[in-house]
Structure 1
Amino acid sequence: IGIMDIRTPADARQPEYLARLLAADVVMFSGGNQSRLREMFGETDFLDTLTRRYYAEPDFVIAGTSAGAMAMSHHMIRGGSVPDALLKGAVKMGIGFSLLPTALIDSHFVKRGRFGRLIEAVALYPKLIGIGLGEDTGVLITDGHLVETIGSNLVIILDGHDIAHNNTAAVKKGTTLSIENIRMHVLAKGNVYCITERKFYVSKDAVANAAC
């Protein structure tokens, strides 16, 4: 186990770090600021190699905590005001690492009251699944679509595929949002959600007997 002390885009381009990435079995991104993570690694051989290994090598693991988890998606939540939750413009979006193009991830979800900003993010991108990570809790994503909850707390799943009325695109910044038929699931340890089928399963054994 070792630490790659990457703080700038120039650091991410150092040959020694690329060599360590090529030799690693697991890479974990720390917390902090998800926009800075994208700024450091975007358009680098490091991110290109990370992406290639992720899709080509089934046993290669990429992990992240807090901002490191949020950066995994393509459309990434980069910030947002909790007091203004459910008002147009409360959530700030950006581009992440694009390792998980089918979902949006938010962290410290319950403790910091981030329901509102994930709801707005899903309303903006209703074909993406919102994943809200509680404290001391994470998800293990396999095959790019099976989301298994691990840890002592809970994970919230928001599904906007069946949204009917949605004023998010039409109203001005600061206007109250109006959204019909957004679906929510609460996952405890061991529960599984299938992104492709948009279904909740009590356990991995239940998934094995299903089409997902």
Structure 2
Amino acid sequence: MRIPVLFGLSLLFSTTLADDPEYGSARGKLVIIGGGNAGGTGIMEKFISLGGGPSKKFIIVPTANGNRAADGSVQVYNSSQVIAPWLRMGLKKVHMLHTHNPKIADTEDFVKDLRDADAIWFDGGRQWHIVDSYAGTRTYSEFHKLLDRGGTIGGSSAGATIQGEYLVRGDTAGAQIVMTKEANHQKGFAFLRRSAIDQHINTRNRWDDLIPVIAKYPNLLGIGLSEGTAIIVEGDNFQVMGKAKVAVHDNTRKYQAGEKPYYLLSAGDRYNMKTRRKLQ
């Protein structure tokens, strides 16, 4: 039986205990990268460290790269090719997790590798492929259980956007559509609750693209990530790492006439999402 997905864009269903974080996990960590090359930034090393180090169990999810080939046949991933870059980074126990079929993703056999995993990584591509495979399944539930037990989830590009509550660029017609009308592609996996996450904002001139999202869903925090740049999330706080800027679309702040409705953070900046303030 598929598990209902209970997150809502207007946050009508979002409830937390008084002492729990409102945005991130109480125990787990998130590494959210804006795509591009993160080499030389320390971001990938940080992800591995937060996952417990090279000896821990890492799961790689390549699903965003597509579930169907150009001819319509089922896309087949070569596990050795998917995990090879991670082995070169020194990981000892790394496994690929992929299916195009949500019925398979809802089986006990499919999720067994997730039950004792320490970290999960989502590759880039198109985020709606991840939704089609895993939303509402036992696999989706196990993703959240990993965070609940103190694990780490990371991802880049589409693997970043899927971590938000609202799914930016979820339209199957193309990534140029920021807000889809496809009802089944409007919701992310809400690892970072109350957020909408965009990526590649510096190289694809997407600085302003979250403005209509936050206008429609003013309770959300918009986070636009440059390439080679990440936020490292612990609870309600994050720290910026990498080469460029993060645009924070914050509807609670008053802006001057003619001013863009967002502000920029740089590497090393620390930010509290609950108070919407930089930390000193």
Q: TM-score, normalised by structure 2?
A: 0.58
Matched, 1:154 2:256: no
Matched, 1:133 2:225: yes
The partner residue of 1:188 within 239, 247, 266 is 266
Matching residue's letter, 1:189: A
**CA distance in 2 between partners of 1:69 and 1:129 (Å):** 15
Instruction: Tell me the residue number matched to 1:118.
Output: 210
Matched, 1:51 2:144: yes
Aligned residues: 180
Instruction: Tell me the residue number matched to 2:29.
Output: none
> Do the aligned residues in 2 keep the contact of 1:110 with 1:134 (CA within 8 Å)?
yes
Matched, 1:70 2:161: yes
> Do the aligned residues in 1 keep the contact of 2:119 with 2:152 (CA within 8 Å)?
yes
Residue 90 to residue 64, structure 1, CA distance change in 2 (3 Å): closer
Q: CA RMSD in A?
A: 2.6
Q: Counterparts of 1:155-174 in structure 2 under 5 Å?
A: 155-162=246-253
**CA distance in 2 between partners of 1:126 and 1:162 (Å):** 11
The answer for unaligned runs of 5 or more in structure 2 is: 1-93
**CA distance in 2 between partners of 1:23 and 1:67 (Å):** 25
Identity percentage of aligned residues:
25
The partner residue of 2:122 within 23, 26, 29 is 29
**CA distance in 2 between partners of 1:69 and 1:139 (Å):** 10
Q: Deviations over 1:15-39 (max 9, x none)?
A: 4441111121100111111112111
> Do the aligned residues in 1 keep the contact of 2:201 with 2:225 (CA within 8 Å)?
yes
**CA distance in 2 between partners of 1:193 and 1:128 (Å):** 15
**CA distance in 2 between partners of 1:101 and 1:140 (Å):** 14
**CA distance in 2 between partners of 1:108 and 1:150 (Å):** 15
> Do the aligned residues in 2 keep the contact of 1:111 with 1:135 (CA within 8 Å)?
yes
> Do the aligned residues in 1 keep the contact of 2:105 with 2:137 (CA within 8 Å)?
yes
* TM-superposed deviation, 1:116: 2.8
Instruction: Tell me the residue number matched to 2:190.
Output: 98
**CA distance in 2 between partners of 1:3 and 1:52 (Å):** 18
Q: TM-score, normalised by structure 1?
A: 0.75
* TM-superposed deviation, 1:162: 4.2
- Which secondary structure does the structure 1 equivalent of 2:192 belong to? coil
The answer for unaligned runs of 5 or more in structure 1 is: 84-88, 165-178, 207-212
Q: Deviations over 1:71-119 (max 9, x none)?
A: 1112211357898xxxxx8633701112222211001111111123211
* TM-superposed deviation, 1:57: 1.8
Matched, 1:197 2:270: no
Matching residue's letter, 1:70: T
Residue 17 to residue 90, structure 1, CA distance change in 2 (3 Å): closer
Higher RCO, 1 vs 2 (CA within 8 Å, ≥6 residues apart): 2
**CA distance in 1 between partners of 2:162 and 2:188 (Å):** 5
* TM-superposed deviation, 1:123: 1.0
